[in-house]
Amino acid sequence: MDYEVYPLAVTHVEWRIFIDVCQRVLGISPTRGIDACHLDPKDPAAFLGSLDMENKPIEALRDHYNPGHSHFSISFMLVSDDAGVKALRSTGLKMHAKDGLKRRVLTIVTGTMDEWFRAIICGCRSSASYELRWIMNLILTRFETAGFREVFSHLTKHNQSDETFVLKS
C-alpha cells in the first residue's frame, strides 16, 4: 500500500490554568500522578492521563471508559486512494477529503481518543477490509510513537500474511 499517515493536531493543555483551577476548586494538583510516574508534561499522553483528575495517569490511559478520553482530540492527514477513503467511512471518525493529483486523495481524519480506540480495534480485526486494516496499522504505530502505548497496552499484535496485523486482547 502506498498510503501515508501524518500526525496533524492534538489537544494541547494550558497547564497553568488546569493546575491553578484544580488546586483552587478541588484542593489538589492534577499533575501529582504525572510527576510520580515520570511522564513528561510535554507529552500529550500526560494530559490525557491527567484529565480524570484522579492522579493515576497510567490507569487513566488504560481505562477505555475514562470520560477524559472523550475530551481529547487527535487529527491525522492521510494520503490514500478512493478505496482508503471508502474504508475509513465505516469508522465514525470525522473526515474531510479532497481529491488530489494522480488519483490520490488527501484526507484529514479526526476523532477523540475513545473514537480512535474503537476505530483502531474495529480496523485491526481480521474481518476488516485490507485497506482499513493497513490504515489503522499505520495510525496505531503513530499513536505508539507519540507516547500513547498505554492506551493499547492490553492488546497484542498478530501478523497476517498480507503484511498487516490484527489486535487481540
Exposure on the CB side of residue 145, measured as CA atoms within 13 A: 9
pLDDT at 53: 92
Domain of 88, in residue numbers = 1-169
**105 CA to centre of own chain:** 22
pLDDT at 138: 97
CATH for 109: 3.30.1360.170
pTM for the model stands at: 0.93
Where the chain has pLDDT below 70, the residues are: none
pLDDT at 141: 96
pLDDT at 149: 92
Question: How many domains would you assign to the chain?
Answer: 1
Q: Which three cell numbers stand for residue 29?
A: 494538583
pLDDT at 38: 79
pLDDT at 63: 95
Whether the Cβ atoms of residue 129 and residue 145 lie closer than 8 Å to each other: no
pLDDT at 20: 97
pLDDT at 94: 98
pLDDT at 39: 86
